[in-house]
Chain A
Amino acid sequence: MIDTALFYVFALMTLGGGILCITRRNAVHAAIWLIASLMGVAGLFLLQRAEFLFAVQIVLYIGGIMVLFLFVIMLINLDTAAAERQYSGQWKLALGAVVLAGGEIAWVMARGLPGLGAAAAVQDGGEGGSDGNVERLADLLFSEYLLPFEIVSILLLAAIVGSVFLARRRTS
Chain B
Amino acid sequence: MLHPVGTGHYLVLSLALLLVGILGVLTRRNLVIVLMSVELILNAVNINLIAFSKHTGNLAGQVFAIFVITLAVAEAAVGLGLLIALFRNRETTSADEVNLLRW
* A-facing residues in B1-51 (Cβ within 8 Å): 1-13, 15-24, 26-30, 32-33, 35-37, 39-40, 43, 46-47, 50-51
Asked whether A94 lies within 8 Å of B4 as measured between CB atoms, the reply is no
- Whole-angstrom CA separation of A45 from B89 in the bound complex: 41
Main secondary structure of the interface of B (DSSP, over half): helix
Sort A-B residue pairs by CB-CB distance and give the 8 closest, nearest first: A125-B57, A126-B57, A22-B24, A163-B81, A159-B74, A118-B6, A166-B81, A94-B26
Residues of B at the A interface (CB closer than 8 Å) are 1-13, 15-24, 26-30, 32-33, 35-37, 39-40, 43, 46-47, 50-51, 53-60, 62-63, 65-67, 69-78, 80-85, 87-88, 92-96
Beyond the given pairs A14-B47, A87-B28, A116-B55, 14 more chain A to chain B contacts, judged by CB atoms under 8 angstroms and listed by A's residue number, are A3-B4, A4-B5, A18-B21, A21-B37, A27-B32, A30-B33, A30-B36, A37-B43, A49-B54, A88-B28, A124-B57, A141-B66, A152-B70, A158-B74
